Structure 1
Amino acid sequence: MAEPKWRSEGDDPDYRFTLANERTFLAWIRTALALIAGGVLLHEFAANVGPDVVVTALAVTLGLAAAALALLSYFRWRSNEIAMRRGGRLGYSWALPVLAGVCLVTAIVLTVFLALP
């Protein structure tokens, strides 16, 4: 695989920052894998928790959030690398509040279902 053009731009950042950026990328990937696992768990084992349509919708939402997070994590890693090479600022990520919102809504819905007799 050919090295991307942006890797030759600017100055090489301190390797510690590059490795920290990679660890952050891997943390986002682990979070995506956890969302996938949660969606599979809901779909397979939570049939008695609430209406099937709602449980399936939550499972699909978690799967879609995982896919979006996995894709976004690469672009976030790449933009951080480019910013460090150019000596620029690291960008803001709207993904964090969205991910927190998805988890919050899922937790509230499941809590309501579990609290109802």
Structure 2
Amino acid sequence: MDREGDGLAMPHAALPRISMPAAVIATMQHPVAFDAQDGDIDLMLGLLWPSDAGGFLLSLSQSSRLLRRPAHREYLRQATSPAEALAAIEAMERNPETAGHLASAGAVT
């Protein structure tokens, strides 16, 4: 499993038998130990992509860049519903510089 650090893992794969991209965000009630120097995993973003479709590396790179910000990761950890997590991600995509501040202030719903 690829590790991004700060409690985040981003497993990913390009597969020949799927027809459209899929993603999953999971927060762990009990962090998973990987004996890494930066601690256990408590947040995961998994990406699956059709192997015959373009855009996989770009999507992976953009996701990693968005989740590099501590405020973005923390808001996803605190989301209490899929709708809340999706709203946070949409805010991050619209404005990566301020989305974490908006989310922590309760402005993202």
In the superposition, the TM-score normalised over structure 2's length comes to 0.26
Greater fraction helix: 1
Task: Flag the structure with larger Rg.
Answer: 1
TM-score, normalised with respect to structure 1: 0.25
Which structure would you say has the larger RCO, counting Cα contacts within 8 Å and 6 or more residues apart? 1
Q: Quick check: which one's strand share is greater? A: 2
